[in-house]
Homo-oligomer: A and B are copies of this chain.
Amino acid sequence: MSAIEFSDHDHAACMRSTMQAAEAQCAARGLRLTPVRRRTLEILLAEHRALGAYDLLARLSEEGLGTQPPVAYRALDFLVKAGLAHKIEALNAYVGCVQPGEDHAPAFLICRGCRSVAEAETKPAQSRLGEAARAAGFRIERSVVEAEGLCPACQESDA
């Protein structure tokens, strides 16, 4: 749980292994990782940052993979539903998942300086919120846990 996203790491290897895991997931579950979807995932994974749908679209467009918003939103919807990417609600932006497939309830650390995003694990049922939900008879189906702040690198350049 050490937030590899904010640390120096062999990111080329990080991307390769994540893409392989994504492909394995799709193969196992009969999902089609088409060229647009695959490239979208690569773009998202290229940096551990949140990217807006229209920024993504601009990148896809440069590569001739589509020019209209639905292209980007469809690819993102697919990836999010497949658990290969996540939406960051606080930013209306999207980030590639670094542990694809495991059906997890992720929590995010989001740097407001550089938009880097690290993914942690939650156990929502254990949390104070889970207790409150049980007490109220509320049935949790999905949880959004996002913390905004400054990553180590941006704290230093914070003056």
Q: Which residues in A have some Cβ–Cβ distance to B below 8 Å? A: 1-3, 6-7, 89-90, 107, 109, 111-112, 118, 120-124, 126-129, 131-133, 135-152, 155
In the assembly, how many copies of this chain are there? 2
Other-chain residue from B3, B128, B137, B143 in contact with A136 (beta carbon distance below 8 A): B3
Main secondary structure of the interface of A (DSSP, over half): mixed
A70 to B124, CA, bound (A): 37
Residues of B close to A112: CB separation below 8 A: 141
B124 near A138: Cβ-Cβ < 8 Å: no
B89 near A132: Cβ-Cβ < 8 Å: no
A123 nearest CB neighbor, chain B only: B128
A145 nearest CB neighbor, chain B only: B145
